[in-house]
A and B are shown apart, each in its own frame.
Chain A
Amino acid sequence: GAGVSQTPSNKVTEKGKYVELRCDPISGHTALYWYRQSLGQGPEFLIYFQGTGAADDSGLPNDRFFAVRPEGSVSTLKIQRTERGDSAVYLCASSLSSADTEAFFGQGTRLTVV
């Protein structure tokens, strides 16, 4: 497809389990962003990749959160030992470069930890 694709669209998991959320950016986009949006809030920055490397991971809330982008395209956000407070919509966005270029968003993954 032409847009940013995120899978799964919904994920329900038990507290303490491990989850992986996937983002397929638009082909050729070197910049990729992960955000988390809690109910009624604006998106909150988690991590930003430029190519394969994490240029800024200052938004990751703790060491249970980790993200990779091994080939500079698809990215996976990994959450270990999930907690109920991790429940949110996780959004991925990509842009052609990190400069003044438009960001395109995926539909998000709604994570519910029960």
Chain B
Amino acid sequence: KNEVEQSPQNLTAQEGEFITINCSYSVGISALHWLQQHPGGGIVSLFMLSSGKKKHGRLIATINIQEKHSSLHITASHPRDSAVYICAVRSYNTDKLIFGTGTRLQVFP
């Protein structure tokens, strides 16, 4: 079992839909990152969370430390949101980032 699990692996949506991507982890963490990766592109950091909730534009990220779970929400989705979204946790013991396998999102007009 991977230390960081994401669901769903693939997600398609119509423009305007509300989207949720989930991340569960099994290790102790000091922080959780949500990252975005476009095809052929590098990785962009969207959020870094250690507790609670953060919002940036149409993106919202929440984390529940007790349940070892985080969600990334996209409101009013747009085709330009199409990308791979990756959850990564920073291990409390080792400091290294452990990545999920990503969620491939496609938003159609």
Contacts and interface: CB of A to CB of B under 8 A. Distances in A.
Interface of A: 31, 33, 35, 40-45, 48, 55-56, 59, 91, 93, 98-108
A43 B86 contact: yes
A98 B98 CA distance: 14
Interface residues of B, number: 24
B30 A99 contact: yes
Interface in B17-69: 30-31, 33, 35, 41-45, 48, 50
Interface of B: 4, 30-31, 33, 35, 41-45, 48, 50, 86, 88, 90, 94-102
B96 A33 contact: yes
A62 B44 CA distance: 29
A7 to B, nearest CB: 13
Contacts of B4: 42
A26 to B, nearest CB: 12
Contacts, number: 62
A102 B99 contact: no
A73 B37 CA distance: 25
Contacts of A45: 96-99
Given A98-B95, A99-B30, A100-B90, A91 B43 contact: yes
A110 to B, nearest CB: 9
A105 B42 contact: yes
Nearest to B4: A42
Contacts of A44: 99
Contacts of B100: 42
Contact of B97 (A33, A40, A55, A106): A33
Contacts of B44: 105
B99 A100 contact: no
A103 B98 CA distance: 12
B62 to A, nearest CB: 17
A56 B95 contact: yes
A76 to B, nearest CB: 19
11 contacts: A40-B101, A42-B4, A43-B88, A43-B99, A45-B97, A48-B95, A59-B96, A91-B43, A103-B45, A105-B43, A106-B42
